[in-house]
Amino acid sequence: MSPFDYQRAASVDEALRMGQQPGAMYIGGGTNLLDLMKGGVSTPRILVDVSRLPLSGVTQGPDGGLRIGAMLSNTDAANHALVRQRYPLLSQALLAGASGQLRNMATVGGNLLQRTRCPYFYDTGFEHCNKRNPGSGCDALGGETRGLAILGASDACIATHPSDMCVALAALRAHVLVRGARGERSIAMQDFHRLPGDMPQRDTNLEPGELIVAVDLPPPVFARHASYLKVRDRASYAFALVSVAAALDLQDGMVRDAALALGGVAHKPWRRPEAERLLVGRKLDANSMQAAAQSLLQGARPQPGNRYKISLAYNSIVRALSMAGGMA
């Protein structure tokens, strides 16, 4: 681990000032950043501790939506009565992630900012990684690609975003509220994380020094029919090979609205509004679910080592929709 300065911010404004320093990074629970620092993957010169900022509240909006503070722990977010009642999809996704100990430490803001997952990114013994050393190449291509991306990848990077929480937030069409030197702005989930393109070193569209202060959830319409399905190699404490956040607004068997996103398959939670539209205005049945699954996987391009992910994702989407719709 490289030496670094530790600074603790007493207020959001102070954090923003500290965050402007060259080489500064914010740290919340540190469950991902510390691993990266120990492995020599991240080498911040200054850690700005934001974990004690008063950003862990949950407040209701006038429209029935919810604002979740960025420093709320994953455990507390998952177990919050309003989250469980109005956004069971989010609660399920949070509880499917990591382990109890990690969820106790990890924050909502930190979860959004965890780095993408790829063994070639995490081990500095591999020479070529465009994410670690832009322009150096990608050792993952042609290597062990079993866990890597099938959608939205580029020749520069095939890493996947590992978060479960973010998949649910993407499906629920949440917004991320951030504050920076130029004030506050709200970023839609689908615009928050980036596809790798030719700049895989950037995981998100945050500007330097910007701080996540909250996540905003729209009015709950998916509270009654939601299912987060995570397929992984063991029953707990494993990243998703494929995960599906599926939720439905059903009335009299008809789908009024649908929320659908995939995890473990791309550099960001994978969502395609066309896939959701294929479900809306119809009865939920095998045909509509399969059509949605096909649509969501449109353009999939697997690596030699992860072809299975297409059929796994397909089957998982159908299963998750069935579960959400009470059919499985």
Contact positions toward other proteins, by CB under 8 A?
1-3, 40, 119-120, 122-123, 125-127, 139, 142-144, 146, 231, 233-239, 241, 290, 294-295, 297-302, 304-305, 307-308, 310-312, 314-316, 319, 328
Nearest approach in angstroms of CB 122 to other proteins is 8
* Sign of the dihedral through C-alpha 160, 66, 28, 226: negative
3-class secondary-structure state, position 37: helix
Nearest approach in angstroms of CB 125 to other proteins is 5
Kindly report the number of other CB atoms within 10 A of residue 22's CB atom: 7
Q: Which is nearer to other proteins, 26 or 126 (CB)?
A: 126
Q: Which is nearer to other proteins, 53 or 260 (CB)?
A: 260
Q: Which is nearer to other proteins, 205 or 311 (CB)?
A: 311
Report yes or no: 200 and 130 within 8 Å, Cβ to Cβ: yes
Tokens of 19: 């965050």
Half-sphere exposure at residue 264, Cβ-oriented, CA atoms within 13 angstroms: 27
Nearest approach in angstroms of CB 322 to other proteins is 10
Nearest approach in angstroms of CB 315 to other proteins is 4
Q: Which is nearer to other proteins, 86 or 319 (CB)?
A: 319
Q: Which is nearer to other proteins, 67 or 146 (CB)?
A: 146
Residue with tokens 């490289």: 2
Edge-to-edge order in the sheet of strand 183-188: 58-60, 66-69, 211-217, 175-180, 183-188
Residues 6+ apart with CB under 8 A from 6: 46, 47, 49
Distance between CA 170 and CA 165 in Å, rounded?
9
Nearest approach in angstroms of CB 233 to other proteins is 5
Distance between CA 3 and CA 192 in Å, rounded?
30
Report yes or no: 155 and 183 within 8 Å, Cβ to Cβ: no
* Sign of the dihedral through C-alpha 135, 127, 147, 117: negative
Q: Which is nearer to other proteins, 69 or 152 (CB)?
A: 152
Nearest approach in angstroms of CB 43 to other proteins is 10
Q: Which is nearer to other proteins, 161 or 179 (CB)?
A: 161
Nearest approach in angstroms of CB 312 to other proteins is 5
